[in-house]
Structure 1
Amino acid sequence: MSSPTCRIRVFFLQGITRDSTLIADAAVHCAPDLPIRIFDMCRAASRYLRFLPTAFVLAFAPLSAVAHPSADPAVPTVELSAEASRPAPNDMAIASAYFEASGTDPAKLSEHVNGAVASALERIRSYRDVKVQTAGTSTYPVYGKDGRRIESWRMRSELQLESRNLPALAELLGKLQANLALSGLQMQPAPETRKNVADQVATDALRAFQVRAKTIADTLGRAYRIRHLSVGYGDGQPIRPMKAMAMRAEAAPMPIEAGETEIVVTVHGTVELTD
């Protein structure tokens, strides 16, 4: 195996013995992994060095082992963040309505519940701006006081309605409550609305980050450049579903107040302060 690239480092040792052992030991200490013939060369060289007034110690060291200071000093960095928000109109509503009944005969109970849901679906389909899907159906036994004997069965079927036409949905919910119970209503921005507002808020947050970074750099008398950025999206105010309502025999449109949702964008980043 070939020896690593070496270079000779010369040390001036004042008042040190000129013994050849010192030179050999220095070579071993500096480069123990080199071939033994290099050590022999050191011993041979010591014969000439002993006649000089000052001893020269020759040490062989791999270039890779020589530490060189970094050409560029560490660049100072600053961690900072900025936040922006804007309100987005709640232009979409999601409602949950269900039909629930009990009976001792599971087959008749299922026929009764399915009939009520089918009738509700027929009415919902007459509203073109309202989307509907089955949210789930469940049947479970009702036990007696002893907790062992099944006395009856309870069945529940739920529908989920979605619409951006709030007046039409309010009218439909008013009619459905003649047979169905309303378990929840959520108001939120439609996906397109949320995206458009979020893009605007992201621009505001990035500009705020840039202004903050420049302020810090100017205060310290430095220039700056961005090393890393992360952008997070969220809602400042969580959407809360309304409590379950079972107002039956109500044909009047259901009152709906859409309101707004705060869209929040947070920017985290690292900037380097340069000269």
Structure 2
Amino acid sequence: MQKSCSIAWLAGAVALFAAPLQAQPLPPPQNVVQLSASGTVDVPQDHLSLTLGTTRQAADAATVQTQLKAVVDAALAEARKAAAPGQLEVRSGGFSLYPRHTEDGRISTWQGSAEIVLEGRDFGRITSTAARVSGLTVSQVAFSLSREERARVEAQAQAMAIAQFRAKAAELARAFGFADYALREVSVMADDAGTLPHPRMAAMQSKAYADAAPVPVEAGKTAVTVTVSGSVQLK
């Protein structure tokens, strides 16, 4: 009997000491305000991507592929003479080869297309190089921001957004009759308006394009925006 009482007392003691260890529900947050603020910087686009392309057609696929390869190899060799890191980068672009069918479903001919891309920050070097490349015409012009410029501008926009967030939080605290605020959580997101490729139809044939003047290009601006959002505890 005494042994049973001892066991019951020990079990009660364990339960007594274990009770405070159980998780207690936290009170719901009070005087918490959700807000967001943005900083935007307009900056000229400093990166140009110029796409040059050509098409070929023949009775068999091998002939088309051989012709395209010869034109692209010659164009790449010419363009690489003016290449400079960051200023003019040269690379191959899209390549496609597909059959053309007659009304009864038979293959009549094969047609293919190939591209090279000239891109970088030196607009003059890029356009003048494109004018010297024979056998290809300009098919697309696109502007954007370089990595270095994007990082610099995002830092500016982020500083503006954070300052706006802090000012807005302090203003809300005063408006609700509080002296200050404490930051609870925050997220930072960067975005820009982006740029769409601008198709440019080439009025000249490939043979004449080798002696053509550089394609006139003019970059626009990109609006880089950083948004800071989160919640603050008014106190």
TM-score bracket relative to the smaller structure: 0.7 to 0.9
Matched, 1:163 2:120: yes
Q: Which residue of 2 aligns with 1:271?
A: 232
State the TM-score, normalizing by the size of structure 1. Answer: 0.71
- Residues of 1 paired with 2:65 and 2:28: CA distance? 77
**Partner in structure 1 of residue 223 of structure 2:** 262
Identity, in percent, stands at: 28
Would the aligned equivalents of 1:97 and 1:158 in 2 still touch at CA under 8 Å?
yes
Other-structure match for 2:12: 4
1:180 matched to 2:136: yes
Query: C-alpha separation between the residues in 1 aligned to 2:67 and 2:150?
Result: 41
Cα separation, partners in 2 of 1:122 and 1:75, compared to 1, 3 Å? same
The CA distance in 1 between the partners of 2:127 and 2:28, in whole Å, is: 67
User: Structure 1 residue aligned with 2:79, among 124, 138, 143?
Assistant: 124
SS at match of 2:124: helix
Q: Which amino acid aligns with 2:234?
A: L
CA distance in 1, matches of 2:185, 2:158: 16
Query: Structure 2: which 5+ residue stretches go unaligned?
Result: 1-6
Instruction: Indicate the SS of the match to 1:3.
Output: helix
Partner residue of 2:146 out of 182, 186, 190: 190
Task: Note the residue ranges of structure 1 that are not aligned, 5 or more in a row.
Answer: 7-33, 35-60
Q: Residues 234 and 92 of structure 1: is their aligned pair in 2 closer, same or farther, counting only changes over 3 Å?
A: same
The answer as to whether partners of 2:79 and 2:130 remain within 8 angstroms in 1 is no
**Distance change (3 Å), C-alpha of 1:220 and 1:103:** same
Q: 1:259 to 1:73 in 2, by over 3 A?
A: closer
| Paired positions, count | 216
Greater Rg by CA: 1
Deviation of 1:70 after TM superposition, in Å, equals: 8.6
TM-score normalised to structure 2 length: 0.83
1:82 equivalent in alignment to 2:42: no
Distance verdict in 2 for CA 1:221–1:145, change over 3 Å? same
- Give the secondary structure class of the aligned counterpart of 2:202: coil
- What residue in structure 1 maps to residue 165 of structure 2? 209
Deviation of 1:112 after TM superposition, in Å, equals 1.5
Pairwise CA RMSD of aligned residues? Answer: 2.6
C-alpha distance in 1 between matches for 2:125 and 2:176: 59
